[in-house]
């Protein structure tokens, strides 16, 4: 395989390409996987955000520390189960979620719909987070927020263009600095109060039900859990996926989140970001802002992978991931700079309910029903893609729609979890009963065409769609 592998920044004809394609339409080869430490920092980087402190403080205002602990435990367990079940499939196959769904639950055309929903959601949240980023910097250091939106958006876009490995290097720099700075700031603030009194103090605000708190915790990161394969496809072992994702959950929920609960009890509100920022100086503010960018780069990265798959399926045209990233990054940055993105949060929240059923179907098909994954099993050792894929799996689309309706209109429980579990149960029942059937077959060599007009090989040892 290695004799045929092209470098990440050249195309089939040897021409120099912009950035890294990061195996957007291929399995990540085993010799391109990254070590435990590098991947662990990538996971931990997703825990390093002031917004998680704010979430913890919001819950702390309405709950005792003990009840908040239960809420974070429930949210962490739910997320870890979902992340590990989906992430392990991504690690085994070396495939990102959009491409994985071609052989796991949805077929070729269904994967295009999945890609479109994921891409719109992630690039939308990229714009929303970029707006928050710009407004925060403007309030802290002055200057127009639109200018800071442009600076931040373009900087993240450049980072994502160059791909996963550069994002990993950025995580190695930012993650330790962020947690060291936050630990110093929070310890300084809490040292002025009795920790025992804060832990045992009643909620300072109106009571918050456990179900509402768990919804905020698990639902807020559910989309990230569904696209976990974007990261885990670079893992070497399944045990690494579990340890790294669990470590991220422990840090994010039990350390950062519960610290936010204590801060909420201390100040009596969720306005705790200034506690961290005000005691850290200019350097601390810079680190916090960089950590926010480190989280937001995954929104743009995941969106670019989805768009590449969408265009290959719908238009039979292979786009370079780097070029797609530039277009998406500029669009998201421009919309955030003019303040439009914040008006789409309700729409993005609706998409947030539409994405979890995808995860339920993936888990059900890959680990339980196993009617479609045979071609992946047959080609995994050779690190190639199957030569064919189903065109449609109509029942999966029906299940997806039904699960979305449950998540959207059923008022009990956690909406994101309701939709995911509905999809999982329906797919398992119908799949084991033989009602999940594929329709049509398409070959990979009738889809992408490279710049020289030649279709990539599907029968040789070169990974189809490799950079």
The top-scoring range by mean pLDDT among 52-56, 319-323, 344-348, 462-466 is: 319-323
Q: How confident is the model at residue 193 (pLDDT cuts 50, 70, 90)?
A: confident
Output the DSSP codes for 368-393: II-SS-HHHHHHTTTT---SEEEEE-
How far is it between the farthest Cα atoms of the chain?
A: 71
pLDDT at 451: 32
State residue 360's pLDDT score.
96
Does 23 reside within a domain?
A: no
- How many independent structural domains does the chain possess? 1
Q: How far apart are CA 27 and CA 458, in angstroms?
A: 13
Average pLDDT over residues 301-308: 96
Residue 293 maps to a domain: yes
Q: In this structure, what CATH number is given to the domain that contains residue 159?
A: 1.10.4160.10
State residue 392 phi and psi, 5-degree precision: -135, 150
| Cα–Cα distance, 368 to 426 (Å, whole number) | 12
- Top-confidence residue, 444 or 420: 420
- Computed over every residue of the chain, the mean pLDDT equals 85
> Cβ distance 152 to 225 under 8 Å?
no
The answer to which of 162-166, 179-183, 229-233, 421-425 has the lowest mean pLDDT is 179-183
Lowest mean pLDDT among 28-37, 137-146, 149-158, 159-168: 137-146
Contact 20, 11 (CB under 8 A): no
pTM given for the model = 0.87
Q: 45-49, 170-174, 393-397, 421-425 — which is least confidently predicted?
A: 45-49
Contact (Cβ atoms closer than 8 angstroms) between residue 285 and residue 133: no
Rounded-to-integer distance, Cα 356 and Cα 83, Å? 11
**What letter would DSSP give residue 434?**
T
Full residue range of the structural domain in which residue 292 is found: 31-446
390 within 8 A of 379, measured Cβ to Cβ:
no
Other CB atoms within 10 Å distance of the CB of residue 165 = 15
Residue pLDDT, tens place only, 48-88: 677 788 888 889 999 999 999 999 998 899 899 999 999 99
Pairwise CA distance, residues 210 & 187, whole Å: 28
Residue 462: pLDDT above 50?
A: no
Q: What pLDDT does residue 332 have?
A: 92
Residue 82 belongs to a domain: yes
Residues in the chain: 467
Domain annotation covers residue 453: no
The model's pLDDT over 102-121, given as tens digits with 9 standing for 90+, comes to: 999 999 999 999 999 999 98
Residue 19, domain member (yes or no): no
Distance of CA 382 to the CA centre of its chain: 28
Our measurement of the distance from residue 392's CA atom to the centroid of its chain's CA atoms, rounded to an integer in Å, reads 26
User: What sign for the dihedral angle of Cα 56, 62, 64, 67?
Assistant: negative
* pLDDT of 191 higher than 60: yes
**Residues 155-164: what's their mean pLDDT?**
93
Listed range (217-231, 275-289, 352-366, 374-388) with the worst mean pLDDT = 275-289
The answer as to whether 466 is a domain residue is no
With beta carbons less than 8 A apart as the criterion, state whether 277 and 141 touch.
Answer: no
Distance CA 97, CA 366 (A): 12
**pLDDT for the residue 446:** 47
- Is it the case that residue 464 has pLDDT exceeding 60? no
Closest by Cα among 22, 32, 24 to 1? 32
Give the residues across from 202 on adjacent strands.
none
- For residue 460, tell me if it sits in a domain: no
- Is 17 a member of any domain? no
Alpha-carbon gap, residue 401 to 397, rounded angstroms: 6
């Amino acid at each position: 395989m290695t004799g045929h592998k092209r470098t990440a920044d050249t195309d089939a004809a040897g021409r120099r390409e912009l950035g890294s394609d990061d195996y957007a339409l291929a399995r990540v080869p085993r010799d391109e996987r990254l070590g435990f430490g590098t991947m662990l920092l990538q996971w931990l980087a997703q825990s390093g955000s002031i917004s998680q402190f704010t979430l913890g403080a919001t819950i702390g205002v309405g709950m005792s520390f003990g009840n908040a602990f239960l809420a974070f435990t429930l949210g962490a367990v739910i997320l870890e189960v979902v992340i590990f079940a989906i992430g392990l499939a991504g690690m085994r196959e070396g495939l990102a979620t959009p491409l994985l769904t071609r052989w796991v639950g949805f077929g070729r055309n269904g994967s295009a719909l999945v890609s479109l929903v994921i891409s719109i959601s992630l690039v939308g949240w990229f714009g929303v987070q970029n707006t928050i980023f710009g407004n925060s910097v403007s309030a802290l250091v002055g200057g127009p927020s639109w200018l800071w939106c442009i600076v931040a958006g373009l900087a993240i876009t450049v980072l994502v263009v160059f791909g996963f490995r550069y994002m990993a290097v950025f995580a190695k720099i930012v993650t330790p600095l962020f947690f060291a700075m936050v630990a110093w700031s929070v310890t300084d603030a809490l040292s002025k109060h009795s920790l025992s009194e804060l832990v045992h103090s009643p909620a300072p605000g109106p009571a918050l039900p456990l179900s509402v708190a768990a919804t905020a915790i698990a639902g807020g990161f559910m989309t990230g859990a569904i696209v976990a394969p974007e990261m885990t496809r670079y893992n070497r072992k399944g045990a690494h996926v579990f340890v790294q994702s669990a470590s991220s959950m422990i840090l994010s929920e039990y350390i950062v989140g519960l610290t936010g609960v204590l801060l909420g009890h201390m100040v009596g509100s969720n306005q705790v970001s200034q506690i961290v920022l005000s005691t850290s100086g200019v350097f601390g503010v810079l680190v916090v802002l960089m950590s926010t960018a480190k989280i937001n780069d995954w929104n743009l990265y995941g969106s670019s992978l989805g768009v590449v798959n969408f265009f290959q399926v719908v238009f039979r045209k292979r786009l370079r991931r780097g070029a797609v990233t530039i277009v998406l990054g500029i669009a998201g940055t421009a919309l955030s700079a003019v303040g439009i993105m914040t008006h789409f949060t309700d729409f993005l929240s609706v998409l947030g309910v539409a994405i979890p059923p995808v995860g339920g179907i993936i888990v059900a098909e890959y680990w339980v029903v196993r009617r479609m994954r045979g071609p992946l099993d047959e080609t995994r050792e050779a690190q190639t893609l199957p030569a064919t894929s189903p065109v449609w799996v109509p029942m999966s689309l029906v299940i997806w729609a039904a699960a979305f309706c449950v998540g959207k209109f059923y008022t009990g429980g956690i909406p994101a979890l309701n939709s995911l579990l509905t999809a999982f149960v329906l797919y398992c029942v119908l799949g084991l009963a033989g009602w999940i059937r594929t329709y049509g077959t398409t070959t990979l060599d009738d889809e992408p065409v490279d710049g020289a007009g030649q279709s990539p090989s599907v029968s040789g040892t070169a990974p189809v769609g490799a950079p």
